[in-house]
Chains A and B, each alone.
Chain A
Amino acid sequence: MLHVKNRELVVPGRLLAEGKYLLGEGTFREGNGIFSSVVGLAEVREKRVSVISLQGRYIPREKDFVIGIVTDTHPFGWIVDLNSPYTGNLMVSDLVGRKIDVFKEDISKFLRIGDAIAAEVKMVDERHRVQLLARGRGLGRIERGRLIEISPAKVPRVIGKRGSMLKVLQDSSGCRLQVGLNGRIVIKGGDPKMINSVVEAILLIEREAHLSGLTDRIKAKLEGMR
């Protein structure tokens, strides 16, 4: 039996369903019941009940696309801040794509402290130690663009269902966006005014992520700017 409506705002401890339902994210089971563990919007898809959290830090998961900032180096690579309780480790071979003899070659020419990188989470172990991959299409050092940070919980809204919001953001502004699931977003484009409009649009999405009808409003806003 279902005790919640789709997109209903729920709080921790709220009974969502009883009986044969599947646990989605933001939920836990106790006895026969499925409860919400966070403040968020309930989502029922067939038999799976989840709660999309409206707050919370980014926790790395394998295959996630993230934007990191190099904070330290070690003999074989770099420590990367992920806007998360957990830092990432990037080995030099996962950036450069060839064997490097770290005793002969100085790796500081590839990355320096403070550099931003686009990366994929390669591996997370049970203690949440994170290995990154920054080699391949769209990955690696970020050379230019405007970097902003938003609440990681709001990133799914910036991307939208099957990328719909991201498409609107890019198509109606002419800018290119790299959206890290860790809440960091890089915006590239020729026109600084348009970049500013995209930033404003993203901050609006962040503020009103729990409301519906956002996509159309963002589209109208950006097209009005052009």
Chain B
Amino acid sequence: MKEMVSSVKRDYIVNLASQGKRLDGRTLDQLREIEVRRGVIGTAQGSALVKLGNTQVMVGVKIEHGEPFPDTPTSGILVVNAELLPLASPLFEPGPPNEDAIELARVVDRTIRESQAIDLEKLCIKEGEDVWAVFIDIYVLDHDGNLIDSSVMASVAALHDIKPPKDPEWTLPTFPIRRKPVAVTVAKVNGVLMVDAGLEEENVMDARLTISTLEDGTICAMQKGGSGFLERREIEEAYELARKCGEEIRKKL
């Protein structure tokens, strides 16, 4: 789902990038302004609205009873779903999630699951029969680029906002969340790497690499996207950017 970009605009962005500059005056390693609001939805156990520049993503977390998977009978369930709402972009259409929405949800899922930020083992009610299911619903409200990073931010913020459900079977003092995984997506525009690409930059990028890191700099998830390629040194450079910008983002969550 890419917008048609005029060659004039493409050349302009590419040209700026080759000088280390960007459309909105940022440097290549500079994030847009981040605003995080928690507790925005009363009917959800946890919620957050993240603004990353003009991109807006809302996440609501619901906690309900669920049946555990047979191979993990004592483990809670994590379900991540993403909706690219038609109100967020003229290119988004109603209907079942397309491959972009599915990719977004699955990258957020992997980031949170593999970071072990949620202690799913604590979410067991009755082994093999009843566990807590954590539903993360990502609602993209305004698409101005970099939906992956903003969705991970909103999900992690919402998970840290959770108030336990009013249910007699909930016995934990607090929701068992312990880490703050952060995704940083590095876009490659005509061979130049930049973080937090805006929509217009995304529309001309060759490829992107998302790297999700934890507080100690370990990597918990990665995803390359786009029809271009990456050299090894670009991958290593992207990791350094992910670590540095990840620190900045984590402070806001």
Q: Do any beta carbons of A and B sit within 8 angstroms of each other in the complex?
A: no
Partner-A contacts on B (CB < 8 A): none
